[in-house]
Amino acid sequence: GLGVGERVGNVQLDILLVNLKLMGWIDNDLTILPEYCKTISKSCKVPVSVNYPVFGHDAFRTGTGVHAAAVIKALRKGDKWLADRVYSGVPAEMFGLEQIVEIGPMSGESNIIYWLEKRGYTPVEHLVHGLFNFAKSSNHVLTDGQIRNFIETYKFIEDDL
C-alpha cells in the first residue's frame, strides 16, 4: 500500500484497487481501504500526503462556492449519488468516505449554511453574514475549531447587545 517498498516501481495497491473498481473489473467492497492506508502509514512511518488520490486528507474536500453549491444542491434534493459525482471523478462513498464542504475565502453562503446545519447550529442571517465576512478575510480554509471559536465569540457579543 501507498507504494511503500524497498525498490522503485512498487505499485500502490490501494490505487490499483481503486482503478480496478472504477473500471468495473472488480466488484469488491473497498470501504476498508482508508483504514488500510492509515495502518500502512502508521506502521511504516510514511505520511499520506494531503493530496494523495482518494485517501489523502483533501481528496474529497471543497471550500469553493461553486463546487460546494452543486454538492449541497444535490444533497438537499436527496440525490447522494449525484452529490458524490458532480465534482469528483471518484465517488467517495465507494470507499467509505464522503464529500466534505468547508468554509474559506472562496466559499459562498451555501457553504456556511450547510456547515452550520450539519453540526446542529441554526443558520440565522446575522451569523451567516458574520461568518461569511470572517471567511472572506482569511487566507486559508478555516478549521472547524476556528469556526466554532468564531461562533462562540459571536454568541458572546450577541448576548451583550
pLDDT score for 28: 96
- Confidence tier at 86 by pLDDT (50, 70, 90): very high
Same domain, residue pair 95 and 136? yes
Same domain, residue pair 145 and 133? yes
Same domain, residue pair 36 and 21? yes
Among 33, 59, 85, give the residue marking a domain's end: 59
Same domain, residue pair 79 and 153? yes
Q: pTM for the whole thing?
A: 0.81
Number of separate domains in the chain = 2
* 41-45: long-range pairs with CB below 8 Å, 24+: 41/2, 44/2, 44/4
102-106-109-114 Cα dihedral, nearest 10 degrees: -10
Q: How far is CA 138 from the centre of its chain?
A: 19
Same domain, residue pair 104 and 150? yes
Same domain, residue pair 154 and 95? yes
Same domain, residue pair 74 and 40? no
Boundaries of domain holding 112: 62-161
Same domain, residue pair 45 and 101? no
Same domain, residue pair 10 and 36? yes
pLDDT score for 10: 78
Same domain, residue pair 18 and 76? no
3-state secondary structure 52-106: CCCCCCCCCEECCHHHHHHHHHHHHCCCHHHHCCCCCCCCHHHHCCCCEECCCCC
pLDDT tens, 20-54? 999 999 999 999 999 999 999 999 999 999 999 99
What is the DSSP-derived secondary structure letter of residue 19?
A: H
3-state helix, strand, coil in the chain (%, to 5): 50, 0, 45
Widest pairwise Cα distance in the chain: 65
Give mean pLDDT, residues 11-23: 94
Among candidate residues 20, 25, 18, the one with its CA nearest the CA of residue 60: 18
Same domain, residue pair 34 and 78? no
Same domain, residue pair 102 and 80? yes
